[in-house]
Amino acid sequence: MTTLRDHDHGDHGDHGERPEEPAGRRTLPVSDREQQVLDRIDRARRRAPRVREDRITMSHGSGGKATHTLIEAVFLSAFRNPLLDPLEDAADLRLPAARAAFTTDSYVVSPLFFPGGDIGDLAVNGTVNDLSVTGATPLYLSAGFILEEGFPVADLVRLTESMRKAAAEAGVRIVTGDTKVVQRGKADGCYINTAGVGVFERDVTLGVARSRPGDAIIVSGPVGDHGITIMLARGELDIEADVRSDTAPLNGLIAGLLDAVPVPGLRAMRDATRGGVATILNEIATAAQAGVLVSEGDIPVRDEVRGASELLGIDPMYVACEGRLVAVVDDAYADHAVAALRAQPLGEQAAVIGHVTAEQPGIVRLKTAFGGTRIVDMLVGDPLPRIC
The residue among 259, 223, 277, 244 whose CA lies nearest residue 344 is 259
Out of 56, 78, 119, 136, the only residue in the binding site for a second copy (CB under 8 A) is: 136
Out of 1, 30, 38, 182, the only residue in the binding site for a second copy (CB under 8 A) is: 182
The residue among 220, 270, 225, 231 whose CA lies nearest residue 247 is 225
Residue 159 CB, shortest distance to a second copy, in Å, is: 16
Taking the least distance from each CB to a second copy, the nearer of 11 and 240 is 11
Verify binding: residue 251, a second copy, rule CB under 8 A. no
Verify binding: residue 345, a second copy, rule CB under 8 A. no
Verify binding: residue 344, a second copy, rule CB under 8 A. no
Out of 45, 55, 99, 212, the only residue in the binding site for a second copy (CB under 8 A) is: 99
Out of 1, 38, 187, 363, the only residue in the binding site for a second copy (CB under 8 A) is: 187
Taking the least distance from each CB to a second copy, the nearer of 178 and 259 is 178
Residue 133's contacts (CB-CB under 8 Å, 6 or more residues apart) are: 206, 250, 254, 269, 270, 271, 325
The residue among 122, 168, 186, 178 whose CA lies nearest residue 145 is 178
Residues 260-299 that bind a second copy (CB under 8 A): 270-271, 273-275, 279, 283, 286-287, 289
Out of 1, 38, 343, 378, the only residue in the binding site for a second copy (CB under 8 A) is: 378
The Cα–Cα gap between 370 and 122 comes to: 36
User: Using CA of residue 72, residue 76, residue 80, residue 83, what is the dihedral sign?
Assistant: negative
Residue 97 CB, shortest distance to a second copy, in Å, is: 8
The Cα–Cα gap between 277 and 274 comes to: 9
Burial category of 327 from C-beta neighbours within 10 Å (exposed 0-12, middle 13-18, buried 19 and up):
buried
Taking the least distance from each CB to a second copy, the nearer of 276 and 304 is 276
- Host H or E run for residue 233: helix 225-233
With CB under 8 A, what is the number of residues at the site for a second copy?
Answer: 96
Q: Using an 8 Å Cβ cutoff, are 167 and 145 in contact? A: no
Out of 18, 25, 183, 359, the only residue in the binding site for a second copy (CB under 8 A) is: 183
Q: Which positions from 210 to 249 touch a second copy by CB under 8 A, shown as an x/- string?
A: ----------------------------------------
3-state secondary structure (DSSP) of residue 276: helix
**Among the residue ranges 92-100, 258-266, 322-330, 367-375, the one whose residues contact a second copy (CB under 8 A):** 92-100
Which letter does DSSP use for residue 182 in this model?
A: E
**Among the residue ranges 14-22, 74-82, 133-141, 331-339, the one whose residues contact a second copy (CB under 8 A):** 133-141
Residue 336's contacts (CB-CB under 8 Å, 6 or more residues apart) are: 260, 261
Residues 37-76 that bind a second copy (CB under 8 A): 37, 40, 43-44, 58-59, 61-68
The Cα–Cα gap between 136 and 204 comes to: 8
| Angle, helix 119-132 to helix 153-170, in steps of 10 degrees | 30
Out of 71, 78, 146, 293, the only residue in the binding site for a second copy (CB under 8 A) is: 146
Taking the least distance from each CB to a second copy, the nearer of 64 and 345 is 64
Residue 66 CB, shortest distance to a second copy, in Å, is: 7
